[in-house]
A = this chain, B = another copy of it.
Amino acid sequence: MKDFFYPASVAVVGVSEDPANLGRGIVANLIEFNYQGKFFLVGPRGGTLFGLPIYTSLQALPQKVDLAVILAPARVVASLVAQCGELGITRVVVESAGFSELSEAGKVLEAEILAALQKYGMRLVGPNGIGLMNLELGLAVPFSQMRPRPPLGSVSIISQSGGVGMHLLAWLTQEGLGLNKFLSLGNKLNVAENEALAYFLEDPGTSGVYVYLEGLSDGRGLMEAARGATKPIFLHMPNAGPETAAIAHSHSASLAADDKVLDAACRQAGIMRVTSQRDFLSAAKLLNQPPVRGNRLVALSRTGGQAVVIADSARRWGFHLAPISPRLAERIQARSRAGVIAPINPIDLGDVFDFTVYNDIMEELCRDPEVDAILFNYGPLAEFEVEAAREMARQAVEQARRGNKPLAVTVLATLKEEDFFRETLKVPVFHFPGEAIEALAMSRRFTEMRQTRTPVTGPLLFERERVAALLAQAPGPGFLPLPLALKIIEALGISPADWATAATPEEAAAAALRLGLPVCLKLSSPALIHKTEVGGVLLDLKEPEEVKAGFAQLAQVARSALPPGAPWEVVVMSQVDSGLEILLGATRDPSFGPVLAFGAGGIATEVLGDVSLKVAPVDEPEARGMMADTRLGQILAGNRGQSAADLPALARALAALSQLMTEFPQVKEVDLNPVKAFPGEGGILALDARIRVEEG
């Protein structure tokens, strides 16, 4: 990737003298940004532009270039790429549109380009993007213009959409944050997000990365690229609702991942997900500050009202505004010339007009190991204070820097003082205290996420051969018959409630007496997915006669609800009324592979939405974490003096399901709902098991 961002020479291909030619925008940017290398213009009609000659072909260039940027009609791009290959140009950016995002014919054109890349061992960014930028050397090849020119900063951007990336860049410029590098992915024909991300995480000029995606090329790869990163990654990926997915597809040929799985994967990989550019813009203001390592915040406020707003936001974002410690209060008193300052936090300095007191307090706070972050609500209230206030602000910024304390600045009422911070002190400013605290919380979250553990791949929790043999009995792709599914989960070490199969009313009644009444009856058939909805489940049958009648009723349901000749049988199962209903499940996500689920089961699953997901592998400690993330998990752990349920058994079951998914790719989906757990008692019991396989 580095060769894309540090070329010593560039050819811009597709330039003409026509004022509506889009390629001229690229040339204008290279001039405006003062690109440090050499660049050449290429266009079949020749001529000159901005006083520079337009060469009529790549072959006519006076030297070999490191990078070619192509903005020519889609149909000629493959040929141009091949020409680059012949000339030994290994890095190409294609900004032209009209490929797979538009039509089937466009897909063919992409295939031709891919063939050329392979033949010559080249790499390509695009097509259907706006290229890339590296402000360290004034490299800027988007065709659209950027005014004012962004200053050099330490934020880098990877954006699937040129428009979204450019809009963010305009705001990074407005906020004084600037840019380091920019990559517009476009259709991701060759270079995709994971490779780019891995490069930016290594790049010394980048302190944080914003990634805008409309689809994932490889979710697992993204997790691997991110894991262990020492720089924060902010992922902005619009939610894949059906409407959004359709628009995203027509826009950039993307496949959107399930939103909740993506959330889970981000948490596991230490990626911060943002839902708006505004959120990232706030977070970016702290990128050049030390990370926030805890939740102890001290705020200095020029007015009491803002202090209340600060306290409210702090509570909302999980910060603790601990009262100033007596030791610190004493030191502040000793050093302050203004007499009594109440030892409350936020420290209200509304009545303090001697600004050296602020610096005395800052000095103490910066030295205090019990302070994790400082919020500084700055504001001269009148013209005559401005000069002294600015000197104080300058010192405060320097004090925090020396003390290595995260410092967030807001300005009170006098917005022109924001310009002073941004332009003179080169410190980004938050517009409202709440935004500052939200950004501090994101920084703290990044610290916390750095500490997440990696699941351990331990020994198998079940006998592999036994499970394999059972899976081999699958009659075909689709849902397994219930008895087989129950045998498989037994083999995994997850107990179902006592059960038996029955082929006649009499067998059912006999089984019920053996298992102990009351029982429930379940109609099982691979052709029947939602047995409850068609009346295929009968609960709480208390007498043998009821069981016989129930069997007859299910036989009737089988005849009316199943296709003629479809096999069916009846499972008799002990009725379990007590206990709490739990969902344990596993699916395969197209981007992330196996995903485990834990949550409230039974009829509550959909209504409560109290479900926690994790991308496999999930070992037992990870499973405990999943449970703790749900409200049900808190109930199971014992609440209000209630007893705890068998959490180890639940964790083991989740870990076993994770191993099942990893070991047996043919298993597509497992849904155990409900599983019952019993506060104050050991053990769990699965009352239902749905397993879907792809191949027998």
Measuring CB to CB, which residues of chain A are less than 8 angstroms from any residue of chain B?
Answer: 19-20, 25, 144-147, 159-167, 169-171, 174, 212, 214, 238-239, 241, 243-244, 246-248, 250-252, 275-278, 302-309, 311-316, 321, 342, 344, 346, 348, 350, 381-384, 412-416, 431-432, 434-435, 532-533, 577, 603-604, 606-610, 631, 634-635, 639-642
Contact = CB atoms under 8 A, between A and B. Distances in A.
23 contacts: A25-B382, A161-B305, A163-B306, A212-B305, A238-B309, A239-B315, A241-B311, A243-B314, A247-B308, A250-B344, A250-B348, A251-B304, A251-B308, A252-B305, A275-B312, A275-B434, A276-B434, A276-B435, A277-B432, A277-B434, A533-B641, A603-B640, A603-B642
Contacts of A243: 311, 314-315, 321
Contacts of A166: 412-413
A609 B412 CA distance: 37
B381 A308 contact: no
A569 to B, nearest CB: 23
A512 to B, nearest CB: 21
Contacts of A313: 276
Given A251-B307, A251-B348, 11 more contacts: A19-B384, A161-B304, A163-B412, A164-B303, A164-B308, A164-B309, A169-B413, A244-B311, A248-B308, A604-B631, A606-B639
B381 A144 contact: yes
Contacts of A303: 161-164
A146 to B, nearest CB: 8
Report, nearest first, the 8 A-B pairs whose CB atoms are least far apart: A161-B305, A163-B303, A238-B312, A251-B304, A164-B305, A163-B305, A166-B413, A244-B311
Contacts of A309: 164, 238, 277
A247 B307 contact: yes
B413 A170 contact: yes
B640 A308 contact: no
Given A305-B212, A431-B171, A244 B413 contact: no
A434 B169 CA distance: 17
Contact of A238 (B19, B311, B640): B311
A639 B248 contact: no
B251 A171 contact: no
Nearest to A166: B413
Contacts of A631: 604, 607-609
Contacts of A312: 238-239, 241, 244, 275
A167 B314 CA distance: 19
Contacts of A241: 311-312, 315
A639 B252 contact: no
B413 A344 contact: no
A243 B160 CA distance: 44
Nearest to A277: B432
B641 A532 contact: yes
Contacts of A413: 144, 146, 163, 166-167, 169-170
Contacts of A20: 384
Given A163-B412, A164-B303, A412-B167, A238 B603 contact: no
Contacts of A608: 608, 610, 631
Nearest to A640: B603
B383 A161 contact: no
A415 B312 CA distance: 32
Nearest to A533: B641
Given A238-B311, A344-B250, A278 B431 contact: yes
A252 B314 CA distance: 19
A143 to B, nearest CB: 9
B382 A302 contact: no
Contact of A161 (B171, B308, B640): B308
Contact of A415 (B171, B247, B302, B412): B171
Contact of A164 (B306, B311, B316): B306
Nearest to A128: B304
Contacts of A350: 163
A298 to B, nearest CB: 13
B167 A247 contact: no
Q: Choose among A241, A250, A607, A610 the residue with the greatest number of B CB atoms under 10 Å from its CB.
A: A607
A304 B252 contact: yes
A245 B307 CA distance: 11
A592 to B, nearest CB: 20
A532 B533 CA distance: 39
A241 B160 CA distance: 42
Contacts of A25: 382
> Could you say which of A19, A159, A432, A610 has the most chain B C-beta atoms within 10 Å of its C-beta?
A432
Contacts of A250: 304, 342, 344, 348
